[in-house]
Amino acid sequence: MVNEKYLFRYLIDKLYRDNYLREDEIVFLLENVKLYGNDYLIQKADETRRRVYGDRVFMRGLIEISNYCKRQCRYCGISALNPKVHRYRLTKEEILASCDKGYGLGFRTFVLQGGEDSQFTDDLLTDLIYEIKERYPDAAVTLSLGERSFQSYRKLLGAGADRYLLRHETASRELYESMHINSSYDARLEALRNLKRLGYQVGAGFMVGIPKQTKADLAQDLLFLKELDPEMVGLGPFIPHRDTIYRDEEPGSLEDTLTMLALTRLFLPYALLPSTTALASIDENGRELGLKAGANVVMPNLSPVHIRDDYSLYDGKVSSGYEAGEHRKSLEKRICQAGYKVDMSKGDHIRWKSN
Ligand code: 5AD
């Protein structure tokens, strides 16, 4: 009989060496990680991250430009399904003021994130992106505005956008379709492929601990990412929101999220991996633990303070203090205490240029 503990360690070493495992091997790791622990996996993920990116943690300034959304994602607090949300939309001036504040704090990436809001037309966005790039030619613009057409992605790229974040949410078609009304798994993947084809630095990603998600589903997330080969991967725990049908469900756990982060680092050694706000929201040390498990990006919030509570995707989202752009110094201290150092450069993916 094979010694299972030996096999567990052997597979982590194999993944560390080859940056690949088969589905059954991933599932074996996921089934045994409770018994044998996360430590060795996390150590290997940290070694990989240090080999590729050293101890640098890249900073991105997040600006939540609108919480209007036409989509009906059953788990999301700002989905069109939720009539209770107080909706807001930042003006061009407010967005530029947020960039200005961020630039002054040293940020060189602005992430414009929002729901799928039809008021943010291509014309409006191209105008905005031009303006940001003109004011801050040394900064990167990352968009996170959901599914748009190929033509639209092309126009935004032409205006100067550098990167696009669009999580695949889950690589399981069945689970994806059960979580989203009126939207298609194929359209999601097509949008991601379009972004890659156009030449954006692309961020995909998924949630950990979605109700009914299996270990095989999580294995599929890793295999999907390996194939897509995105420059960034955003992953965090699923967290129930009180106004959704998932209100009474259990959130994804810290341990499972750290396991998936470490596995993602080992599958994609070069990826830029944020230690997400959702992770920081389920545990007060979540942010640091994420960094130790292979994450190398932090995205503090630069949105105007008065709207922050309205951008509520899940309950208990941390939205002030440590998270906020204004507290860059205390954030820096915590990153240093965790054994890393803050890098305020634009922080492109290694394929784009030498950082
Ligand atoms: N729990 C965790 N993450 C969520 N997101 C949306 N709703 C939730 C939730 N309830 C994530 C999705 C989306 C990103 C912007 O926020 O993965 O892509």
State the Cα–Cα distance between residues 294 and 291, nearest whole angstrom.
Answer: 5
Residue for token pair 């597979």: 11
State the Cα–Cα distance between residues 276 and 258, nearest whole angstrom.
Answer: 11
Model confidence, pTM: 0.96
The Å distance, Cα 323 to ligand 1 centre, comes to: 17
pLDDT score, position 322: 46
Q: Is the CB of residue 313 below 6 angstroms from any atom belonging to ligand 1?
A: yes
Distances (CA, A) of 237 to 304, 325, 335: 25, 23, 21
Mean pLDDT value of segment 74-101: 97
pLDDT score, position 34: 97
Q: Which residues contact 199 (CB under 8 A, 6 or more apart)?
A: 157
DSSP helix/strand/coil, 17? helix
111 exposed, middle or buried (CB, 10 Å; 0-12, 13-18, 19+)? buried
Q: Is the CB of residue 75 below 6 angstroms from any atom belonging to ligand 1?
A: yes
Does the pLDDT at position 325 exceed 80?
Answer: no
pLDDT band, very low/low/confident/very high, at 178 (cuts 50, 70, 90): very high
Mean pLDDT value of segment 226-245: 98
pLDDT band, very low/low/confident/very high, at 326 (cuts 50, 70, 90): low
Pocket test for ligand 1, best of 66, 75, 257 (most atoms within 8 A of CB): 75
Q: What is the residue-averaged pLDDT of the chain? A: 95
The protein residue with its alpha carbon nearest to ligand 1, atom 6, reads: 76
Does the pLDDT at position 72 exceed 90?
Answer: yes
pLDDT band, very low/low/confident/very high, at 319 (cuts 50, 70, 90): low
The protein residue with its alpha carbon nearest to ligand 1, atom 16, reads: 313
Residue for token pair 């992430």: 111
pLDDT score, position 330: 85
Mean pLDDT value of segment 236-249: 97
Instruction: Say which CATH class 4-343 falls into.
Output: alpha beta
Bridge partner residues of 59 (DSSP): 298
pLDDT score, position 355: 44
CA-closest candidate to residue 277, choices 83, 71, 129, 60: 60
Reduce the secondary structure of 138-162 to three states and give it as a string. CCEEEEECCCCCHHHHHHHHHCCCC
For residues 155 and 126, the answer to whether their CB atoms sit within 8 Å is yes
Does the pLDDT at position 175 exceed 80?
Answer: yes
Does the pLDDT at position 86 exceed 50?
Answer: yes
pLDDT band, very low/low/confident/very high, at 1 (cuts 50, 70, 90): low
pLDDT band, very low/low/confident/very high, at 318 (cuts 50, 70, 90): confident
Q: Is the CB of residue 169 below 6 angstroms from any atom belonging to ligand 1?
A: yes
The Å distance, Cα 228 to ligand 1 centre, comes to: 20
Q: Where are the domains of the chain?
A: 4-343
The Å distance, Cα 115 to ligand 1 centre, comes to: 11
State the Cα–Cα distance between residues 213 and 207, nearest whole angstrom.
Answer: 10
Q: Is the CB of residue 243 below 6 angstroms from any atom belonging to ligand 1?
A: no
